[in-house]
Amino acid sequence: MIVLLSAPAPCAAQIAVKSPRLSKVLADYSAAIEDLAQSASPAVVQVLVQTVAPLGKGDTQRMGFVSEQEATGSGVIVDPDGYIVTNAHVVQNARRIDVNILRSDERGQEPHGHLVPAKLIGLDRQVDIAVLKIEGQNLPALSFLNSDNLRQGQFVLALGSPLGLQNSLTHGVVSATLRQLDPESPMVYIQTDAPINRGNSGGPLLDVEGRIAGINTMIFSESGGNEGIGFAIPANLVNDVYRRLRKDGRVRRGSIGVIPETITPRLGAALGLDMDSGVILSDVAPESAADAAGLEPGDVVLSIDGKPMREARDLILAVFQRAPGDQLSMEIQRGKERMSKTVAILERKNEPGQLEELANYDAALVRPLGILAVTVDEKVNLIMPDLRRLSGVAVAAVPAEYAGLNPGLVAGDVIYSLNNQRIASLDELRNALRDKKSGDPIALLVERSGQLIYVTATLE
């Protein structure tokens, strides 16, 4: 509903004359925003995604049936050759991705929307970043700033397509620079009061120079709309994930094998430490990278790569942002002695969640079992190196729209046989299921967490 509010026009005596100096300041401010919008907008795109969604939720007669749906989000071109950063949740399970870019045609008209197909290069669900690629050269692109230098109160602008309204600009300030929303997660966000709504996801949060400060990703809202509490993924983390996805198509996470804890005044006093804040290692895993570097339980971590460690999440984030093969230079205190340690980051093993990044939705879907699956190969073995057998089919994910057909398989399960028939590939699994009909019993021999179990069901 649009409400038009009118009021009597003020008489001449009521009109206050603004000072020329104030008028100039406002005019300069307005002109600066206009210039920034004009230069940055062509690099910001609308992302249009075709997905599938379940029909008849709660209706057993329609369980497993889906319909195509369309969703929109935002993205930003970060390379003139057509590489685009957006949110993973915008494009996950997409069957088709197009982007609407602003550009002028050969007739020299004002920039307007042109729809072009996009290819998904890779996505990282943990950070919620995806990389797309469109064909093109010399495209308008924006650069990343160093988000470690952001300060509370700094002026920022959000560009994107909220509620499908392409090329919308809002502005506000940085409300907080390192907001942790989940104590169990290493993720931190930039909090802003710049208005962000559905459809802004994947669009950039910009500084006054038009550089990417972060990628808008979520809001806190009781009404479903903007209430002045929005969150963006910091540019440094986005840039790191973008480069890794562009190079390898997936993000490999690392570990050093420690449990850090924040030093509180009570803990510091009880342990006889000469500090009441900081980070202490409560555990160092045997045969881990930290153990090999000579770290011990009780060591106080003072800094990593020169950055002070004030609480446990600082150490967790430092490791989270590094790739396997990188090294950390750590300054520690053990008793009264200070020393330097160099710790190598090793790749995490047995993380089934990484399997989903290998699965193309249409090619990986095994509808009779309600799963996305991939053949066990070299890539799967890198993620799950200690499997009992060399061939099989790994369960990459259980899509919500097919969950009603799933007999109890979970991501990370590896199927070795169906009704005693050996299964060595995804094609063999599909062929074995093709011979079955509704009502037939099946028994899947599955490796789960290093153990072999049977998963049984009656086919729908």
89 is catalytic: yes
Q: CB of 160 within 8 A of CB of 203?
A: yes
Within 10 angstroms of residue 188's Cβ, the number of other Cβ atoms is 23
The one-letter amino acid code at 340 reads S
Q: Name the nearest CA neighbour of 257 among 311, 296, 298.
A: 296
Could you give the CA distance from residue 235 to residue 229 in angstroms, rounded to a whole number?
Answer: 18
Instruction: List the catalytic residue out of 74, 98, 124, 128.
Output: 128
CA distance 272 to 93: 53
Question: Is 168 labeled as catalytic in the residue annotation?
Answer: no
Q: In degrees rounded to 5, what are phi and psi of residue 192?
A: -140, 155
Give DSSP secondary structure letters for 359-376.
Answer: --HHHHEEGGGTEEEEE-
Three-state DSSP class for residue 389: coil
The DSSP code for 288 is S
User: φ and ψ at 253, to 5 degrees?
Assistant: -95, 150
By the 8 A CB rule, do 205 and 82 touch? Answer: no
- Which tokens in the block code for residue 428? 């063999």
Catalytic member of 161, 168, 201, 303? 201
For tokens 């009021």, what's the residue? 7
Q: Which residue has the tokens 């506000």?
A: 172
- Identify the three-state secondary structure at position 295: coil
CA–CA gap between residue 214 and residue 380 (Å, rounded): 32
- Beta-bridge mates of residue 444: 418, 455
Residues 142, 77 contacting (CB under 8 angstroms): yes
Residue 127 near residue 185 (C-beta atoms within 8 A): no
Cross-strand partners of 231: 191, 218
Tokens of 128: 């919620």
Distances in Å between the alpha carbon of 73 and those of 52, 76, 85, 302? 16, 11, 11, 41
Other beta carbons within 10 angstroms of residue 419's beta carbon come to 14
Name the residue among 393, 370, 367, 371 with its Cα closest to residue 380: 393
Catalytic pick among 89, 175, 303, 413 = 89
What amino acid positions are annotated as catalytic residues?
A: 89, 128, 201
